Amino acid sequence: MAVTDYKDYNEELQKLFIEFCATDPELFVRVKNIVKPKYFSHKLSNVIKFMLEHSEEYNALPTIDQIKATCGVELKKVEINDQHKNWFFDEFETFCRHKALEHAIITSADLLEKGDYGSVEDKIKHAVRIGLTKDLGTDYFVDPKARLLALKDNNGTVSTGWSALDQKLYGGFNKGELNIFAGQSGAGKSLFLQNVALNWANVGMNVIYFTFELSEELSSMRVDSMSTGVASNEIFKKIDDIDLMVRMQGQKSGKFQLKYMSSGATVNDLRSYLKEYDCHCGSDDHAESKAEPNGAGMAKNDLFHLADISKELHDMLDDDYPLDDWMEAKITKAADYIRSVHQYVSYDKTGEGEESKNDHVTVYIATSPKTLKADA
């Protein structure tokens, strides 16, 4: 039955629910987690309250005679078979959900006047989710293969980026899980999670990193250091290299967004941001730009032309040619750029920073009249 369906749970029907429980105490045990006295009429709410208190204190339901003597309500035994039990569970679950929703709406009026919409939303969600425990869980010894395949198909494991940690986690994190990292101030929680975020982006996953303390700029600079291997105190000295390496890495990575949220932000604030981000960035424009067919070809073509120009420039310059400061600065800068790309591509192809055995282009860069050659 849908939550919005209307049904008149009058006092006679409420009394019948109680009689079912009084007749078969096991029924009461199975619905005890969702029943509350406020769901019932004033007279019957005292009966439910007495039944709850008695069962807690004596680990048993009171008899019909005890209920009559204490609450002044006369109940009778009812005949119950399996079909009746199924009816009871369905109807009683819906009754409790409707009453909880009704109570949530009534008590939300003051919260709405205060503008506390988050609390109102929590009340409504809690009411809608009220239900009996019908799912008995997973029988561990029954059909392990099907259990594992279902996990693989529905979730899958994501590596942290560290093999030693993956072994401790039996492969890494499972998609859909909520993982909480706790530690003292300064223990490295933020650094660890920034590393995880970067690792995931590097393997093509889309990542949003929320920071509640450091600014987006400082958090991003930390990631710059992790991504390039350049110490934080050296970043501004090598800012052009950083710019080039990060941009190149972004061409083959997933999306990586860093967002500062104030310390008072709630889960609802995060949900709102994620929805807004999805509306603006849901289509994978980033991936499309990475798949641009002409990008790599144009860059390689430029390298070939650059090799010719560099060789020609090298031949034009002799030891006595007076290079102006601006000329030397431009040549040095160009050499730095080419060298950075070479180092990055070499590391990317070999994993160790060694020169790749694949085809490469020899580029001549005149950094000074006597310093001429660099491989790329």
Q: Are residues 238 and 152 in the same domain?
A: no
* Phi, psi of 260, rounded to the nearest 5 degrees: -85, 135
Residue 147 pLDDT level (bands cut at 50, 70, 90): confident
Per-chain mean pLDDT for the chain: 81
Q: Which of 248, 283, 318 marks a domain boundary?
A: 283
Q: Are residues 105 and 23 in the same domain?
A: yes
Q: Are residues 246 and 232 in the same domain?
A: yes
Q: Is residue 290 part of a domain?
A: no
* Phi, psi of 178, rounded to the nearest 5 degrees: -105, 120
Predicted confidence (pLDDT) at residue 305 exceeds the cutoff of 80: no
Residue 361 pLDDT level (bands cut at 50, 70, 90): very low
Least confident among 70-79, 204-213, 233-242, 358-367:
358-367
> What pLDDT score does 306 carry?
76
Predicted confidence (pLDDT) at residue 181 exceeds the cutoff of 70: yes
Q: Are residues 173 and 228 in the same domain?
A: no
Highest mean predicted confidence (pLDDT) among 128-132, 256-260, 317-321, 365-369: 256-260
Q: Which of 218, 249, 283 marks a domain boundary?
A: 283
Q: Is residue 184 part of a domain?
A: yes
Q: Are residues 311 and 364 in the same domain?
A: yes
> What pLDDT score does 1 carry?
42
The DSSP symbol for 358 reads S
Residue 5 pLDDT level (bands cut at 50, 70, 90): low
Half-sphere exposure of 222 (CA within 13 A, CB side): 19
Q: Is residue 146 part of a domain?
A: yes
What CATH number does the domain containing 229 carry? 3.40.50.300
* Residue 78 CA: distances (Å) to CA of 32, 62, 86, 249: 19, 16, 15, 72
Mean pLDDT of 198-211: 90
Q: Is residue 3 part of a domain?
A: no
> What pLDDT score does 231 carry?
92
Domain that holds residue 351: 295-375
Q: Are residues 202 and 264 in the same domain?
A: yes
Mean pLDDT of 149-175: 79
Q: Are residues 209 and 270 in the same domain?
A: yes
DSSP secondary structure of 169-206: TTTSEETT--------TTSSHHHHHHHHHHHHHHTT--
Segments in the chain forming alpha helices (H)? 11-23, 25-31, 42-58, 64-71, 82-107, 109-114, 117-128, 144-154, 163-168, 189-202, 216-228, 239-250, 267-281, 285-290, 295-316, 325-350
Q: Are residues 143 and 198 in the same domain?
A: no
User: Max CA-CA distance within the chain?
Assistant: 117
Q: Are residues 20 and 120 in the same domain?
A: yes
pLDDT higher at 268 or 83: 83
Predicted confidence (pLDDT) at residue 116 exceeds the cutoff of 80: yes
Residue 353 pLDDT level (bands cut at 50, 70, 90): very low
Predicted confidence (pLDDT) at residue 347 exceeds the cutoff of 70: no
Q: Is residue 289 part of a domain?
A: no
Q: Is residue 5 part of a domain?
A: no
> What pLDDT score does 262 carry?
87
The Cα 329–Cα 191 span in angstroms is 37
The Cα 343–Cα 353 span in angstroms is 7
Q: Are residues 262 and 305 in the same domain?
A: no
> What pLDDT score does 91 carry?
95
Residue 347 DSSP SS3: helix
The Cα 235–Cα 217 span in angstroms is 13
pTM across the whole model: 0.45
> What pLDDT score does 154 carry?
59
Q: Is residue 288 part of a domain?
A: no
> What pLDDT score does 348 carry?
59
The Cα 296–Cα 290 span in angstroms is 10
When divided into structural domains, the chain yields a total of 4
Which residue carries 């694949």 as its tokens? 358
Q: Which of 283, 317, 352 marks a domain boundary?
A: 283
DSSP secondary structure of 107-141: HTHHHHHHT-HHHHHHHHHHHHT----------TT
Q: Are residues 252 and 145 in the same domain?
A: no
Q: Is residue 319 part of a domain?
A: yes
> What pLDDT score does 105 carry?
92
The Cα 136–Cα 87 span in angstroms is 20
Q: Are residues 308 and 344 in the same domain?
A: yes
> 344: which residues sit within 8 A by CB, 6+ positions away?
244, 245, 248, 249
